A and B are shown apart, each in its own frame.
Chain A
Amino acid sequence: MKTFLILGAGTAGTMIAIKMSRKLDPQEWKIILVDRDQNHYYQPGFIFLPFGMHKPQDVVKPKRSFVPRRVEFILSDIELVEPENSRVKLTNGREIPYDQLVIATGTDIHPEQTEGMLDGGWRKNIFDFYSFEGSVALGEFLKHWQGGRLVLNITEMPIKCPVAPLEFIFLADWYFKQRGMRDKVELIYATPLSGAFTKPRAAAAFGDMLSKRGIHVEADFNIAAVDSSRQIIVSWDEREIPYDLLVTIPTNMGAEVFERSGMGDDLNYVPTDKATLRSKNWENVWVMGDATDLPSSKAGSVVHFQLDVITENILAAIKGQPLPAAFDGHSLCYIESGDHKAAMIDFNYDTEPLPGVYPLPVVGPFSLLKETTINHWGKLAFRYMYWDMMLRGIPVPLPSKMSMAGKRP
C-alpha cells in the first residue's frame, strides 16, 4: 500500500484530497490529510465581519465534514518534514512515510515581526482582519468607535489576497457614511507599494477609486515600528503617521515547520516550479496555494486554477511519465467597493489586470476593473459556491487558463 500525504486541510488541501480520492485506486493508495485546526474558515468572508455584513457563523464549518470517507484525517501539528527520507513527523508522535506529498499549509500573519506591534495596543486599537479572531474583534471595536484617524497599513509584500486591504478601506468608507459619521473619520492607506496596487492598469483604476472617496494614500511606506504609547507608526525612512485606530496587515509567512525542516525561503514559503507546481528540490513533493513561493496571488481562486494542473502532473509522475500540465499564474479577484458594488480583476503571470468583461465576451456578466452591482452579487454568491461546490468537489465552470476573451488590452 502506498501513501499519498497532504499537509494542510484548507482550501487547497481539501480540494486535492477530494480529487485524489476519486483518481487513486483505493486498493493501491492510502490518502492521509493532516491539519492542526478542526475549523475550516471561509477566508474571503473575513472582510465582511468587521462591518457586520457577515456573522461569524457564516464563515466557519468543521473541516471533517468536507473530508471524503476514504481519506484518513489526522488532527495534529507537524513537527518535521524529512524530504530526503520521504517522511513526516507529527507533534502527536506519529511518523508517516509517504510516496507522494502535497504541501498545502498556507500562510499566516506574524505581527511579532514588526517592532512594537504587540506592545500595548494589540486588539485594543490595533487590529488585523486576516484572522478570524482579529476580524471579529475589530467588528466589536467598530460598533462603539466614535471616529478619528483610521490608518490601514500593509507591512510588507507579499500578502494573501493583495486586494483585501483596498476592499477594507472602501467598505470602511461606506460603513462610516451609512452610520452618518464619515466626516468624523479620516482614512489613510499606507502601503509599501508605489501606488494602490502592484500592476499599473489596476493601480490607476484603484487610485481613482481611493481619491474619489477622499482616502489619502501614503505610498512607499515601509513600516519600521509601531509606537503604541504615542499612537504612531514609523517608516524606515523616518516618516511618522499618527493613528487612533490602526488596521494592520502584518507580515505574512509560511508555516514554521519549513524553516525547521530547511525547506523554506526567507518567509518559509516552499520553492516551487511555477509551471508544474512540483517542489524545486524533491520529485515527490508538490506545493499548492499560499504555501508556494510563486509570483502569483495568494488567493482561493488561484488554488481552484491550480487544481487540474497539479492533479494531472501528479498522476503522470506516479506513472513515470513526463509532466503534461503548466500553471499560468491565473488569478481572479472580486474587490468589494461598498454601496452594494464590487470590481473584479482577472490576470496571470504575464498579463496584468485589464478592463473588459468576464467570463464571456460582450455579455460578461461581470465587469473587469469597474464597479458594478452584479460583481457584488457575484462575490456574495461565491460563498455558497465555495461551501457547496468547491469544497464538495463539484466542478466550478471557470477554466484554469486565463483567457483574453472579453478583455481590452
Chain B
Amino acid sequence: MTTVSLENVKFNEEGYMVDPNAWTPEIAKAIAEREGVVLTDRHWVVINYARAEFKAKGEAPTLRNITKNTDVSTKELYALFPGGPAKLAAKIAGLGKPTGCI
C-alpha cells in the first residue's frame, strides 16, 4: 500500500499542519512515517482523542489532558510518541502546537 503524498499539504516552519481541517487519517499515516512512527490502535486512541479535543476546544490537548481523559498512561505515551509526546501527537493529528508547550 502506498501512503498518501504530503506534497500538497501545507506545514508551518515547526512542522505542524497549517490547516487542521485538511487532515485525513491517510495524511496522519504519512506524517507518522516521516517522523519514524508506525501507527497502532493505541496511537489512534491518542490521535482520535486529540482530534475530538481540538474540535471541542479549538486547541490540541496537553500531555496532562491526554493522560487524564484517556486510558493511556504517561509512560505509554512516551513509548508511543518518543521525544515530546504531546507535540508529536499533535503533529500527527494535524493540529497546532499544544499551548502548554510555550
Contact = CB atoms under 8 A, between A and B. Distances in A.
B78 interface: yes
A326 B6 CA distance: 40
A236 B64 contact: no
Given A224-B74, A237-B83, A157 B68 contact: no
Contacts of B83: 220, 237
Nearest to A295: B102
Contacts of B78: 222, 236-237
Interface in B60-90: 62, 64-65, 68, 74-75, 77-78, 82-84
Contacts of A267: 64
Nearest to A192: B84
Contacts of B77: 236
B25 interface: no
A298 B75 CA distance: 29
A295 B78 CA distance: 25
A266 B64 contact: yes
B86 to A, nearest CB: 10
B100 A220 contact: no
Interface residues of B, number: 15
Given A220-B83, A237-B78, A266 B62 contact: yes
Interface in A86-132: none
Contact of B84 (A220, A266, A295): A220
A165 to B, nearest CB: 16
B56 to A, nearest CB: 13
B28 to A, nearest CB: 23
B74 A236 contact: yes
A237 B82 CA distance: 8
Interface string A210-240: 0000000000101010000000000011000
Interface of chain A: mostly helix, strand, loop or mixed: loop
Contact of B68 (A198, A237, A266): A266
Contacts of A44: none
Interface of chain B: mostly helix, strand, loop or mixed: helix
A148 interface: no
A406 interface: no
Contact of A158 (B75, B84, B100): B100
A111 to B, nearest CB: 16
Interface in B39-68: 62, 64-65, 68
Given A220-B83, A266-B65, A236 B100 contact: no
Interface string A242-269: 0000000000000000000000001100
Contacts of A158: 100, 102
Contacts of A220: 83-84
A351 to B, nearest CB: 14
A222 B75 CA distance: 11
B22 interface: no
Contacts of A295: 99, 102
A198 B74 CA distance: 23
Given A157-B100, A295-B99, A295-B102, A236 B68 contact: no
A283 B99 CA distance: 24
Contacts of A156: 64
A186 to B, nearest CB: 26
Contact of A224 (B62, B65, B75): B75
Contacts of A157: 100-102
B88 to A, nearest CB: 12
A174 to B, nearest CB: 29
A220 B101 CA distance: 12
Nearest to B75: A236
Contacts of A236: 74-75, 77-78
A156 B101 CA distance: 9
A267 B99 CA distance: 13
15 contacts: A156-B64, A157-B100, A157-B101, A222-B78, A222-B84, A224-B74, A236-B74, A236-B75, A236-B77, A237-B78, A237-B82, A237-B83, A266-B64, A266-B68, A295-B99
Given A222-B78, A236-B74, A237-B83, 15 more contacts: A156-B64, A157-B100, A157-B101, A157-B102, A158-B102, A198-B102, A220-B84, A222-B84, A224-B74, A224-B75, A236-B75, A236-B78, A237-B78, A237-B82, A295-B99
Enumerate the 3 nearest inter-chain pairs by beta-carbon distance, A residue then B residue, closest first.
A236-B78, A266-B64, A266-B65
Interface of A: 156-158, 198, 220, 222, 224, 236-237, 266-267, 295
